[in-house]
Amino acid sequence: MEVAMTKDLQQEASLAKRRYTDLCRQGRIFDARNRIIGGDTRAWDVQVRDQKIKEATDKARHETFAAEMKHNDKAMCIMHNQEQRHRKQLCRVINDFQQSFQKPETRREFDLSDPLALKKELPARVSDNDMRNTISGMQKFMGEDLNFQERKRFQKEQNREWCLQQYGEWEKARADHKLAELLHTQTILKFDEAARDLEKLEGTTRKEVCAAVKAFNKNQVVELAERKRQEKQQEQEDNMTEITNLLHGDLLSENPQQAVSSFGPHHVLHDRWKGMSREQLEEIWYMQKQQIQEKQRLQEEERQHNMDWDLRRIRKAHASLLHERQQQRLLREQRKALDCSNLRLARQQYLQKKTMDVASSSQPTEDYFSQFNTRSR
């Protein structure tokens, strides 16, 4: 009996535990926040704590390494300074030994690297006639002789003599120039005096010429006045003769025969023609009236022709309009028949679909969808 009670208690405890686990699972599943995020906050907190512990451990290890590196760097600096001091001391000792016991003069090949070897040797040439001054040696050039100073002094003396000579020549040239200017001035004065004499002579001659020209012009004026008087008198006589001829001629008497040309009766002389006669004017007016009537007749015919064409165009447009309306009417009837056919087919399809929906009863209802998400499993 006690064993049975123990089993029952165990089953109840197991069932209660399962129910509690199921309720916890449902709380996690049906909680929208946890379901969307999809994570365990407790596990995350544990991970965060472990990460902080790891970071603290790493930081302590790095600080330890840094302190050790700092100590090693300090030791290295001390050792480097000691090595530098030892090296400088060794170099100083070596230099002192070399300067005391290894001088360059004591070497066997010193003559090959003696810095004063060129100073100790003979110069390139001792004199200008030295036998070593060959052409290929290039030791003597123009102006590089040993008696350069003496030659320079001689050249200066020679230049001074040349300057004195040039100065004397310049003084002589200046004196010659002054003499030439004096002669030129005297010549100009003589030319001026001769020019004044010529100008006086020219003035006298000009006066005589002006008097002669004045007398000649006076005679010319008298002759010109006499000639103009004669010409005017002759012009008056010619004008009177012309007026008399015109008064008694055919021009002013308006004789129509004077305008007839020798080329025919239809040609006239324009400078003698006085206009058309009354009969000619009436004939021209009659011809103009006939032309006007002919033009009116042609315009009337053209207007009638245009009216006929407009009437034909209106009839043709009316026929086209009737034909177009008939075509539109036929199109409307075809469209109406097509719409009726489509409506009949749509009704048939709707009835067929309705029949199919009624025949197939496997369509899910609202109760089918409401049974989900009620348990955790």
Q: Are 168 and 149 contacting, i.e. CB atoms less than 8 angstroms apart?
A: no
In sequence order, the 6+-apart residues with CB closer than 8 A to the CB of 257 are 250
Name the token pair of 370.
């409401």
- Rounded CA-CA distance 374/377 in Å is 9
Q: DSSP character for 268?
A: E
Interior/surface letters 240-252, b for 16+ CB within 10 angstroms, e for the rest: eeeeeeeeeeeee
Distance between CA atoms of residues 236 and 73, nearest Å: 146
Distance CA 35, CA 52 (A): 27
pLDDT in tens, the chain (377 residues): 555 567 788 888 888 888 888 888 777 777 666 666 666 677 778 888 889 999 999 999 999 989 999 999 999 999 999 999 999 999 999 998 888 888 877 877 787 888 887 787 777 777 767 777 777 767 776 666 677 788 888 889 999 999 999 999 999 999 999 999 899 888 888 888 888 888 888 888 888 888 888 888 888 888 888 888 889 888 888 888 888 777 666 555 556 666 666 566 666 666 666 666 777 788 889 999 999 999 999 999 999 999 999 999 999 998 989 999 999 999 999 999 999 999 999 989 888 888 777 666 566 667 767 777 666 55
Report CA 238 to chain centroid distance, whole Å.
85
> Residue 261 in contact with residue 269, Cβ under 8 Å?
yes
Please report which helix (H) or strand (E) contains residue 347, including its range. Answer: helix 278-359
Contact 272, 258 (CB under 8 A): yes
